[in-house]
């Protein structure tokens, strides 16, 4: 048996770092600050280019159509952004749900 079991239907969506983005925090590592989250992006949401200064990000599309650099991606696509590496903008062509893991604190710094 796993020492931690989470059923996402028992969790509430929380406001994400951008308008049109919501999060369900599935698990938090108290030692590293890392989190595993479901992210929901409303159709038309644009997340501007940014970095995560304290964590590597791995995102896996579960549902919807996601645009990166003029290419549209579908469920089954995995994205990885090393800590401090610029990425985005991201555009939700439809409602999108991703499973995303940050191996350190979820902080976001816009690229100016």
Radius of gyration of the chain (CA): 14
Q: For residue 68, what are the β-bridge partners?
A: 71, 90
Q: What is the pLDDT of residues 35-91, one digit of tens each?
A: 999 999 999 999 999 999 999 999 999 999 999 989 999 999 999 999 999 999 999
CATH code for position 12: 2.60.120.10
Would you say residue 1 lies in a domain? no
Would you say residue 2 lies in a domain? no
Total number of domains in the chain: 1
Range of the structural domain that residue 69 is part of: 8-110
Q: How far is CA 76 from CA 19, 66, 69, 73, 100, in A?
A: 25, 11, 18, 9, 13
The answer to pTM > 0.85 is yes
Instruction: Report whether 25 contacts 16 (CB < 8 A).
Output: no
pLDDT at 34: 97
Would you say residue 88 lies in a domain? yes
């Amino acid at each position: 048996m796993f020492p931690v079991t989470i059923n996402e239907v028992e969790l509430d969506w929380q406001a994400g770092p951008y308008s049109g983005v919501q999060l369900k925090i599935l698990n938090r590592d108290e030692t590293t600050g890392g989190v595993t989250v479901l992210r929901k992006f409303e159709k038309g949401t644009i997340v501007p280019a940014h970095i995560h200064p304290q964590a590597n990000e791995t995102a896996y599309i579960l549902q919807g159509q996601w645009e990166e650099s003029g290419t549209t991606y579908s469920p089954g696509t995995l994205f990885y952004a090393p800590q401090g590496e610029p990425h985005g903008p991201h555009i939700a062509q439809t409602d999108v749900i991703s499973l995303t893991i940050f191996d350190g604190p979820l902080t976001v710094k816009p690229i100016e």
